Amino acid sequence: MKAAVVGAGLMGSGIAQTCAQAGFEVVNIDTFPSAIDKAKANLEALFARKVTKGSMTEEKKEEILGRLTYSGSFEDVKGAAIVIEAVPEKIEIKKDTFRKVDEAADADTLIVSNTSGLSISEIASVTNRPDKVMGVHFFYPAPVMKLVELVRGLVTSNETYEKVKEFAGQIGKTTVDAPEYPGFMVNRILVPMQNEAAFMVMEGSRPEDVDNAMKLGCNHPMGPIELTDFVGIDTMLATMTGLYNGFHDSKYRPCPLLETMVKAGHLGKKTGQGFYKYDEKGNKIS
């Protein structure tokens, strides 16, 4: 069975890896050659480290890599039973991608979005197969995290849902049915907690105190401020803004400190400066 993943960034390349490891023939498509080059290099380096450590044989490495190809053309979605979109979290980019995939894919191909909170019904509306469209929200890093949220649009068919749920099981994921509301399930619960943590820092609490309180008091593996730096303060702000605009409820008002930090370019671990400082290797230094 062939699967196609559109988008070769961190999420897209991770989803492609997950599918290849599960035995699927996979094509990872991206219109930016640099993204493909980076995805290939990162995966080869990851597998090389696994071989060196003895957690993967050279034969297994070559077997998995042999199932994974890369392309810069949407035409290569032909023959895929399922296409997974993993492009940037902007509704117009998502819709443009779905238009192109819908035009190129076989008539019976299912098209799913890895969106973390955008409307599946709106994305599906630009296709000629809205009944074969739904959301499958993976979590980073995709090869490691066990959960995917399944999100049905207004006209997603029961047949599509059942096939996608089966596919998720085949690639080793546990599923939850999430409502088609902003943030779906996990982000609707998690991101407001991170936002509240940012408010506490803005009000004078030390980031390390906030993190330690949640790690030691609630047994969280990572504190909410650390997590915000990890995912990106710009990503966090965009998600919170989406919740606020979607629900029109003041409890989702983004923390002003997040807006200020984004304007300053302090985006977290990826820029070396967020609530904490990081060295070139991404290690926290203060």
- Distance, CA of 160 to CA of 86 (rounded, Å): 19
Q: Are 254 and 235 in contact (CB under 8 A)?
A: no
Token pair for 18: 């997950």
Q: Is 128 marked active-site?
A: no
Q: Would you call 219 a catalytic residue per the annotation? A: no
Q: Both tokens of residue 153?
A: 């649009």
**Catalytic site residue from 149, 180, 226, 266:** 149
Residue 171 backbone phi and psi in degrees, to 5: -95, 15
**What is the structure's pLDDT at 83?**
98
Q: Is 137 a catalytic residue?
A: yes
State the residue for tokens 């609490």: 205
Residue stretches of the chain with pLDDT short of 70 = none
Find the catalytic residue in 113, 114, 116, 195: 116
| Gap between the Cα atoms of 254 and 239, Å rounded | 9
Predicted confidence (pLDDT) per residue in 152-205, tens digit: 999 999 999 999 999 999 999 999 999 999 999 999 999 999 999 999 999 999
Among 119, 187, 226, 266, the one annotated catalytic? 187
Question: What is the pLDDT, as a whole number, of residue 142?
Answer: 96
Q: Which domains does the chain have, with CATH numbers?
A: 2-177 (3.40.50.720), 186-271 (1.10.1040.10)
**Active-site residue, selected from the candidate residues 89, 114, 119, 137:** 137
278 beta partners: 284
